[in-house]
Amino acid sequence: MPLNSLGLPKPPAETRVVVAMSGGVDSSVVAAMLAEEGYDVVGVTLQLYDHGAALAKKGACCAGQDIHDARRVAETMGFPHYVLDYENTFREAVIEEFADAYLAGATPVPCIRCNERVKFKDLLETAKDLEADCMATGHYIQRRMGPNGPELHCAADPNRDQSYFLFSTTPEQLAFLRFPLGHLASKAETRALAAKYGLPVADKPDSQDICFVPNGSYASVIEKLRPGAADPGEIVDLSGKVLGTHRGVIHYTIGQRRGLGIGGGEPLYVVKLDPGTRRVIVGPKEALATRIIPVREINWLGDEPLTARPEWHVSVKVRSTRPPREAIVRPLSATEAEVELLDPEEGVSPGQACVFYETGGTRILGGGWIWKGRAA
């Protein structure tokens, strides 16, 4: 039996695909494309949060308008659509940790945790309960078959690539997941497909912010979740000298220069946040340069175990917006490693992900979470 376009050995009509639909153009196009190809498509949208004000806001995913948009796409293409209430799961698995990490002086990436703990865990189990053969999403990333099974590769369009947010996808999940947009050359192609299928979301703008953070204001969300978190404190230099006061550690991020209110002299940057003493520590730009990064909770996607070698020469990304740069990963265990950057990077922050890539290639070898490390 020849394989169908999703790599499964049966006709599309006998292949059930659950499509994770956010209400945006990407996942809508995936659902429409598979429906047109004759697959047995079931659309599922997650109700993740209800922030009242956030519901009316444009550019957030999985809120009221988005559920409505996903339903309209399903009606247009004639396949069933379900809405699952995941608010409690999302709050416990994503929002609470986001608040705690932020208050601990880290810069969290909740979108990764949502993929890891909600979409690719609970939703994936739901897809299996619905007797699906696979689950498809609108992420821009590629799944390719390698000699040892499915591999994760960067999207064809580097501007849309979402590999940084999907490094924690496990080999077992990868066996079940499909990413039909990963090979497209540009977002324009996706929108053209949406117009071709006559989808009501063809011109819908892309979501920009974290879905539960209205207007991109992290601080206001944290204040609601953790009253008292915005208590003022001191701004000090590396020697501990007080330079000024601040209006709450939650308003600052590592690498920040503007808005410190301590003008004059050489430019100073936030180099550390100490929530325990409510101090913002500032220093010159060179104080931001980091060469050694402790990484834990590693998800490894290489062909042999992470601990099979004393060191791996790879490229790493320490922020989603930066290009990969060469590094050496030295495993400490199956889930912990020390990463040495060949060129120091500025503004490396605990709470961000460190994602491993094949140097000069497109394959994602996994990644982990940057942390403060053990005290020497």
User: DSSP 3-state assignment of 133?
Assistant: coil
The answer to whether 64 and 221 are in contact (CB under 8 A) is no
Could you give the CA distance from residue 352 to residue 334 in angstroms, rounded to a whole number?
Answer: 20
∠186-191-197 over CA atoms, to 5°? 135
Query: Which is catalytic among the residues 114, 134, 154, 354?
Result: 114
Query: Which is catalytic among the residues 134, 154, 211, 354?
Result: 211
Question: CA gyration radius for the chain?
Answer: 22
Could you give the CA distance from residue 177 to residue 127 in angstroms, rounded to a whole number?
Answer: 10
The answer to the question of whether 21 is labelled as a binding residue is yes
The answer to the question of whether 138 is labelled as a binding residue is yes
∠217-354-170 over CA atoms, to 5°? 100
The answer to the question of whether 77 is labelled as a binding residue is no
Place of tokens 């501990």: 240
The CA-atom distances, in angstroms, between 138 and each of 30, 180, 182, 237, 324 are 6, 7, 8, 45, 23
Tokens at residue 5, please? 């376009």
Could you give the CA distance from residue 306 to residue 314 in angstroms, rounded to a whole number?
Answer: 12
From start to end of the chain, where are the E strands? 16-20, 40-47, 81-85, 134-136, 141-146, 149-154, 177-178, 233-236, 242-246, 269-274, 279-283, 289-300, 312-317, 325-331, 337-346, 353-357, 364-370
Identify whether 114 is a catalytic site residue.
yes
Enumerate residues 6+ apart whose C-beta is below 8 A from 148.
Answer: 303
The answer to the question of whether 368 is labelled as a binding residue is no
Phi, psi of 31 (to 5 degrees): -65, -45
Indicate the length of the chain as a whole number.
376
DSSP β-bridge partners for residue 97: none
Give alpha helix (H) positions in 201-275.
218-225
Identify whether 111 is a catalytic site residue.
no
Could you give the CA distance from residue 376 to residue 374 in angstroms, rounded to a whole number?
Answer: 6
Could you give the CA distance from residue 230 to residue 328 in angstroms, rounded to a whole number?
Answer: 39
The answer to the question of whether 13 is labelled as a binding residue is no
User: Which active-site residues does the annotation give?
Assistant: 114, 211
What residues form the annotated binding site for ATP?
Answer: 20-27, 46, 138
What residues form the annotated binding site?
Answer: 20-27, 46, 138
